[in-house]
Amino acid sequence: MIDAGQLRKGIAIQLDDRLFQVVEYTHIKIGRGSAQVKLRLRDVRSGGVVERAFQATERFEPAFLEHREVQFLYSDKDAYHFMDNETYEQTGLTAEKLGDAVKYLKDGLTLEMLVHEADIVSVELPVAVELTVTETEPGFKGNTASGGSKPATLETGAVVQVPLFIAVGDVLKVDTRTGQYLEKAS
């Protein structure tokens, strides 16, 4: 069993005979009352998201997930295709199943696929990925790293705010958890 205080984003739990993954976690303490935990949970099977509140003392049944190393191969109009690095078996997942991860998927990217009882739950991206800028406004002479920001479209279609000196063709490190620019890759 796992305490409500130990829950974090990405953890899978069994609740009402269904498998949920924690999307968002908020700990709430109001005055003299007991602490509560507010959770946004994604039903792994249906993809639906629900919000529930629990007492901070409540306990949950953890779901054990198998981590498989996979490589992103390509996408087509129906799915995003991955290859298991051990078995070389290929799997296709829909954009709905992947969620925001599609913004950071680049051909050849190695990541973790989370599996529960032969069902693919989700993918776990590396903390940072390197992506090339395909479109942004031109910088001007005198722009510095601390001077402001502008939007830049990356090779995967993701749009991030970048410093004014970033130009088309630059390779950037982007945090996959927050979607924020980290640094210019060397």
Q: Tens place of pLDDT for every residue, the chain, 186 residues?
A: 888 777 887 788 888 888 888 888 888 887 777 788 888 888 877 767 889 888 878 888 888 878 899 999 998 988 999 999 999 999 998 888 888 888 999 999 999 988 888 778 778 889 899 999 999 988 665 555 556 788 999 998 999 999 988 889 999 999 988 889 999 887
Q: Is 17 left (phi over 0), alpha (psi -120 to 50) or beta?
A: left
| Residues 152, 178 within the same domain | yes
CA distance 168 to 165: 10
DSSP 78: S
CA distance 4 to 7: 5
| CATH for 47 | 2.30.30.30
| Residues 95, 75 within the same domain | yes
CA distance 181 to 28: 30
From the CB of residue 98, how many other CB atoms can be counted at a distance below 10 Å?
Answer: 20
| Residues 51, 78 within the same domain | no
Distance of CA 139 to the CA centre of its chain: 30
| CATH for 96 | 2.40.50.140
3-state class (DSSP) for residue 8: coil
Give the residue numbers spanning the domain of 179.
128-184
| Residues 13, 57 within the same domain | yes
| Residues 44, 94 within the same domain | no
Q: How many domains does the chain have?
A: 3
| Residues 55, 71 within the same domain | no
